[in-house]
Amino acid sequence: MAKRNKQYVCQSCGAVAAKWAGKCESCGGWNTLVEEIIEVAGPKSLNPKSGRAIDLVGLAGQDTPPPRRVSGVAEIDRVLGGGLVPGSAVLIGGDPGIGKSTLLLQVVARLSKAGRCAYISGEEAIDQVRMRAVRLGVTAAPVELAASTNVRDILATLDAADGPDVVVIDSIQTMYVETLDSAPGTVAQVRASAQELIRLAKKRGIALLLVGHVTKEGTIAGPRVLEHMVDTVLYFEGERGHQFRILRGVKNRFGPTDEIGVFEMTEAGLMEVPNPSALFLADRRDDVSGAVVFAGMEGTRPVLVEIQALVAPSPFGTPRRAVIGWDSGRLAMVTAVLEARCGLEFTGRDVFLNVAGGLKITEPAADLAVAAALVSSLTGAASAADTVVFGEIGLSAEVRAVGQTESRLKEAAKLGFTRAIMPARRKSKNAGAGLNAGLQIEEIGQVSTLAEKFLAAENGASVRRLAKPH
Ligand code: TYD
Ligand code: MG
């Protein structure tokens, strides 16, 4: 006989505890444990005779998979790996107000021209969604709109042979399954709602798009479990003050995970940015020290972005180290290498590092550009405006080779740069003369060479300033 039992589930990380506590053991969140009733079936071993045998089949199938649904919004199609896969579930996370609802309404408006699309809003009333549609200029699109939070009703609507092909649920945290006691937004409800919706999507071949809220820590609210249940997880991110928005894949069963889509939030919705480098470099001034252009890669696409550093005398005993858009651990490593191996002094100085435009860089190839920006700010010598920098730095101050050199150089040449400071390439690769993309290449083997360049560029006064912080 089934026995009712209690467990306590953390609403922020999904950890399960047997006893209630004020603090979650797993994520350290306060007051996040909520009671849930679990149905426990009594121990009973299964009798193999009572089951039905399932078919075991080979890997090569006869049927061709159904075609992907291409939205025509190139930035999202690329992140998805070439469009939406029928029968799959995509979770889109992001801070409130970042533009998730806007993006999805624009996408379904495009897709509705080729198939039936439903947009189910649990957060906004029909009129509010309509107002947004007016603003986006998509009122003519045949999107089927509903405002509902009851999963049973939603399933009844969608579970028809001629039902919609694409369904947006905005957001999964507002949905609830009546048979559960917990309130909407709790882990149990979110998990049960997602499970039901995903099951239907698989059965009917629906491409399901779920909006998920994120917590203060930046992960999708409540459930890590949700990330395991869906096929694709995308994050929509950006700084609130900036107009750029970046769609980033973090899990994708049907495509790459390192691609990004870049959008600009305008008065009339999100616009695609086919050439992000031009946008990220738009406000650049070329005569300031501490600013260096990094030739980076985001998935298959090269992205040029400005790295800004400010090294200033600190009024505090413990100088500050602040980083926006890069990893603070990596910054600590680069400053340590510059201090220990190149004789530069960061003690007693605050260090601020910023990736302009609100982009977040994860590539180690940014090391050399960061080092150049730091040295430039420290010495007061501006980096040449026509130069891009990239390369990974090792702990012994060696500059290591990075991938996709050619794409980086080509993008730099396209945007009018004429010089590149980069790691030494292997001889065999260097053989072809066309690989330089018309750029003047300066290969650097040691970080100290880079530091010396800046020191040489600046006159004696700043070198003295370097030796004696004030
Ligand atoms: P929204 O899509 O509601 O965000 P989310 O669903 O992620 O919470 O976006 C809301 C923000 O976008 C809001 O601050 C206004 C802004 N916005 C524009 O700047 N232009 C537009 O055309 C639209 C529709 C919204
Ligand atoms: Mg919204």
Quick one: tokens of 416? 């009018």
Tell me if 92 CB under 6 Å of ligand 1. no
Q: Centre a 10 Å sphere on the Cβ of residue 258 and count the other Cβ atoms it contains.
A: 16
Cβ partners under 8 Å of residue 59, min gap 6 = none
Burial of 229 (0-12, 13-18, 19+ CB in 10 A): middle
DSSP codes of every residue in 259-328: -EEEEEEETTEEEE-S-HHHHHTTT--TT-TTEEEEEEEETTEEEEEEEEEEEEE-SSSS--EEEESS-H
Nearest of 402, 307, 409, 408 to residue 364 by alpha carbon: 402
Distance 273 CA to ligand 2 centre (A): 22
Reduced to 3 states (helix: H, G, I; strand: E, B; else coil), residue 351 is strand
Tell me if 94 CB under 6 Å of ligand 1. yes
Ligand nearest to the CA of 103: 1
Note whether 434 and 456 are within 8 A (CB). Answer: no
Distance 99 CA to ligand 2 centre (A): 7
Residues near ion ligand 2 (Cβ under 5 Å): 101
Walk along the chain (470 residues) and give the pLDDT tens digit of each residue: 455 678 898 888 888 888 899 998 888 889 888 888 776 666 677 787 888 888 888 888 777 777 899 988 899 999 999 999 999 999 999 888 899 999 999 999 999 998 999 999 999 999 999 999 999 999 999 999 999 999 999 999 999 888 899 999 998 999 999 998 888 888 888 889 999 999 999 999 999 999 998 766 655 555 567 888 999 999 898 877 778 888 988 899 988 887 888 899 999 999 998 888 887 787 787 778 899 999 999 888 889 999 999 999 988 888 999 999 999 999 999 999 999 998 898 989 999 999 987 788 989 999 999 999 999 999 888 888 889 999 999 999 999 999 889 889 988 988 889 999 999 887 655 544 456 778 899 999 999 998 888 877 765 444 434 443 43
What pTM was computed for the model? 0.76
Tell me if 268 CB under 6 Å of ligand 1. yes
Tell me if 102 CB under 6 Å of ligand 1. yes
Distance 96 CA to ligand 2 centre (A): 7
